[in-house]
Chain A
Amino acid sequence: MSACTPKSLASSGQKPIQEMCHPLGAEEAVLTPSPDVRNITSSIGEKDQILPNGTPVETSSPSSSSSLLNRLQLDDDLDGETRDLFVTVDDPKKHVSTMETYITYRVVTKTTRVEFDLPEYTVRRRYQDFDWLRTKLEDSQPTHLIPPLPEKFVMKGVVDRFSEEFVETRRKALDKFLKRVADHPVLSFNEHLNSFLSAKDLNKRQGLALLSKMGESVKYVTGGYKLRGRPVEFSAMGDYLDMFTQKLGTIDRIAQRIIKEQSEYQVELREYGPVYTTWALSEAELQGPLEGVASCMANCSSALDELTQDMSEDFLPVLREYVLYIESMKIVLKKRDNIQAEYEAKLEAAAFRKEEKASCTQVPTDVEKCHDRVECCNADLKSDWDRWQNNKRQDFRQLLTGMADHNIQYYEKCLAAWESVIPLLRDKQPQETETEED
C-alpha cells in the first residue's frame, strides 16, 4: 500500500510546530512564517480563523479575503495565523475478519487545543466511522455546510474495493474531508470530532449513530413548510450551484474523451515505432538512426501512458468528488429555506392569533426563536458559502494547475527523447567523423 506524503503542514508563527517533524513526512518543506501576519478579527460566534494545511480558509471580512488570496500559492503555506489543529489520513490497511474484510486508515492528529487531553493522537478508522462522524456533525450543526464524503456504495462487481487505485482515491477524499472539518471554525470544535480523533474505540457509539440518524437533519431537509420569499442572494447561490454542476459535468466528459483519444493515439504509436525497428534490420548505415527513432517513440509512448494514468487518477476523481460537495451545499441551502419557511408559517399563525386576541402585543417566544434561528442560519450559511467558494477556488486552481503540470511533464519527456536522438541521427560511421559544435 502506498503511504503518500500528505500536503505540507502550515507553519505557526508562534509555536514551534514548524520544527516538529510530521510522523510521515519524509520530504518536508521548511516553512517560514511570513512577516506581515495580520490578526484577523473574527465575526461574532466564530473563533480565530485557522489556516489549513493545503485548503486555506477564508474569513468573512472582505479586506482580509483579498490579502489572503493574494498570498495564496499552491502547497505553500500561509503565515502564522494561529493554527492549532492538524489532521491527516493515511496508511490504508486491509483487515480480514471472519465476518468481513475492510480497510482502515490511520488518522493522525496534532493539536494544542485545550479541548484535547493530549497533543497527539493516532487512531485507526474505517469508512463507517467517517460516515458516523459526518452524520453526527450534520445533526449537531444543521445550519452549517458539512463537507461531503466519497461515495459510500460501490458495486462489488464493477469496482475492486481493495485495489490500490480505489483505496488511494478514497483515502485522498477522506483526508480532504477531515481537513475541511478541522479547518472549519465551528465544526472543528464539535465534541464528536474530538471523539473521532481521540477515542480508542468508536464502536460503542455505533448504536447511537443509527438511532440518531433519523434526527434533526431529516426534519430540516424534508420540512413541510412552503417558502414565500427567498432572499435574492440565496437564490443566486442556488442558481450558481446548478450551473456550476453543469460545467463540471462538461469538463468531466471532455477529460474522459481526451483520455480515450489519447489511448487510441497510443495504440497507433505502439505500432508505429516497431516499423522503424524492422526497417533498421534491412539497412546498414541507416540502422543506427532508424533504431534511434524507434526507441525515441517508445519513450514518448510510455510518457503518454503516464500522462493518461495521472489524469485518470488525479484529475477525474477530484472532479467527481466536487459534485458531491455541491450536493452538500445544495442541501444546506434547502435546509435554510425550510427554516425560513417554518418561521414564516409560525409568524403567519401568530399574526392570526394576534388578530383574535387583540390585546396581545407581544410576539410569541417561539416565533422569536424561529426568527433567531433564521438569522443564525443565514449568517452561518453566508460564511460557509464564502469558505466554500474559496475552497473551490483553491481546489480548482490546484486541480487545473496539476493538469497543466502533467501535460508539461509529458512534453518535456518527449522533448528530451527527441533531442537526445538528434546527435545520434547526425552521427555517421567512424570513417566520416565530423566535429560538430552546437
Chain B
Amino acid sequence: MAKMIHSLFLINCSGDIFLEKHWKSVVSQSVCDYFFEAQEKAADVENVPPVISTPHHYLISIYRDKLFFVSVIQTEVPPLFVIEFLHRVADTFQDYFGECSEAAIKDNVVIVYELLEEMLDNGFPLATESNILKELIKPPTILRSVVNSITGSSNVGDTLPTGQLSNIPWRRAGVKYTNNEAYFDVVEEIDAIIDKSGSTVFAEIQGVIDACIKLSGMPDLSLSFMNPRLLDDVSFHPCIRFKRWESERVLSFIPPDGNFRLISYRVSSQNLVAIPVYVKHSISFKENSSCGRFDITIGPKQNMGKTIEGITVTVHMPKVVLNMNLTPTQGSYTFDPVTKVLMWDVGKITPQKLPSLKGLVNLQSGAPKPEENPSLNIQFKIQQLAISGKKCLAWV
C-alpha cells in the first residue's frame, strides 16, 4: 500500500478542478483528462466507473454531494481502502463546514488543506476520527474567527490530542458537561422490490442506531435488546466490545463524544418484512394512439396505529412520454419532460381518504407503444416504529 494516495483532485460537476493536494510529488492536472474522458462516456454522472486505469496511474473516485473526489494512485492498493478514506474526507468536510460543497471548501481552503495533511501521511491515514481532528484543527465558527482576529490566536491546537494514542482513540479526554445527556436514534429503512402483482420480490431492512452522547468523563455504557437474535448481520463502531457482544449479546462501549453511528444492521427478507404501504396502480397505453391512462392510489397496510408521513412517489416514465396531465387528491406533483421523472409529494396518509393521482399521459405521436413498465419508487417515514420489531431494553 505504498503511497496509498498520491494526489487528490476535487472536481465540480462542470468539470473544473478547484482543489488539488499532493502527498508526494506533484502530479499534473492533465491526469484528470482520463477521468473526464470516462465521464463523457458515462451518460450520467453517477455512472462514472470508480476505478479507472491510465498508462501510469490509477484513478479511484467517489461522487459525493455533486462533487468528484478523484484520487491518483500509482501502485497496487486496496481500492476499498481508498474509497473508504475518500468518504471519510467528505464526511469530515461535512462535519466541519456543515456541508460538503464547492463553496464551503473554497471558503475554508486553508482548513481543508490542514485537514488533508492531518488525515494522511505518506499514504498512511493518520487521524480520521472527528473527535481527534477537532482537537488538532478547530472547526470554523463565526465566533472563533472574530476572537482569533482580535487575539491573534490560531485555530490549530498545539497540544497532542489525548485520544490519539490511548486504547480509545475515538474519545477525547477531559470532557465536561453540566447537563449529561445521551440520545439514540433508531432509523430503519426498508428496501423492497415489489412486482406488478404486489408480491414482494425482495425486502430487507437496513437499520442504524445513531447516537448523540454528551456525557462527562469516561462513561462506560451498555445497551441490551429484548430480541438480540434479530441482529445477526451487524457492523459496529470500533468502540463496541465485540467479546461482550459475542458472549452476552450486550452492546458495551465507551462512546466517542458527540454524534456518531453506533451500529448498523441488516435484517434480511427471511424474517418476513411487512411493508406498511401498498399501491394500487393502473398504467395503460392504447395501441396506435398517442395517449395513455395513469392511475395510482396509495394506502396503508397494518401500521400499528402509527401514521405514515413524508410520502413521495417517483416514477420513471418511458422515453416516449411527452407530458402528463394529472390530478392529485392531495399533495402536488411535477413531471420533468427531460428526465421523464414524475415526482409526487404526497405527505401524510389519512385512512379515510386514500391519496390518488390520476390522469392522462401524452406520448410522442407515431411512436410505438412503450414496452417497458415504469418503475415506482416510494419513500415514506413512520415515526417511532421499528419494522424489525427490535426493542431496546435497559441502560446500565
Physical interaction between A and B: no
Interface residues of A (CB under 8 A from B): none
Binding site for A on B (CB under 8 A): none
